[in-house]
Structure 1
Amino acid sequence: FNHSNSFAFFNGINNNLFYNIVEIHFCTVIIVERALRSRAPDLDKKKYLVPSDLTVGQLSFLIRQRVSMRPEEALFFFVNNSLPPSSSPLSAVYEEHHEEDLFLYMTYSNESVYGA
């Protein structure tokens, strides 16, 4: 997403209004994309505005509901090629890893588990 949309594009949008809404409602802006070599299904949308107190595990549950995955498949999220703890609030992950455009970019991948 960040490669196909430049920072200049987002600067052209009324960012003051956008970021004020984010700050007032204590939300985190996340761009979620499928990892390059993943066989996980694609999401119908990539941009999410989520509550800052949402954890990585809760986000995983929400994303898992949006894609049709078999029960024996696990879903993993990566931020800057690292795996954040599932109990970590997204606000903490955002503070540590957000980009200069103030978005948090996450990728997801699936893996077969339980001997499947």
Structure 2
Amino acid sequence: MNWYLEVLRKYAVFTGRARRKEYWYYFLINFLIITALLLIDNMLGTLDPEAGMGLLSGIYALAVLIPGIAVAVRRLHDTDRTGWWVLIALIPIVGPIILIFFLIQDSTAGDNRFGPNPKAVETEVKHP
């Protein structure tokens, strides 16, 4: 849960790097919350089957749109790619597959043009 909250604290931070752990834990918790809200929307009768969203899930999705894009950009920075690669997801079918491939790759070792490796920084903090 801390990884999810950390992404929300960095609401619109598009600089720096994000570990795989930070991105994928955020993704998992976000997925679980959206699923729960869709179930609640269905029970309340506010789910629109054509849109695939309901009132609560739609409001939540809008609220986490910017943090989701920001953490994806930071994750791409961690693999030494510019954040503009996030736009490849707009290409039908192939684009999201390529983006997922980029997001699952390991960090570049050491510092890169986007900052220090967050794995190394976390290790230094834990073991001074």
**Fold shared by both chains (TM-score > 0.5):** no
CA radius of gyration, larger in = 2
Q: TM-score range by the shorter chain?
A: under 0.3
The TM-score normalised by the length of structure 2 is: 0.24
The TM-score normalised by the length of structure 1 is: 0.26
User: Which protein has the bigger helix share?
Assistant: 2
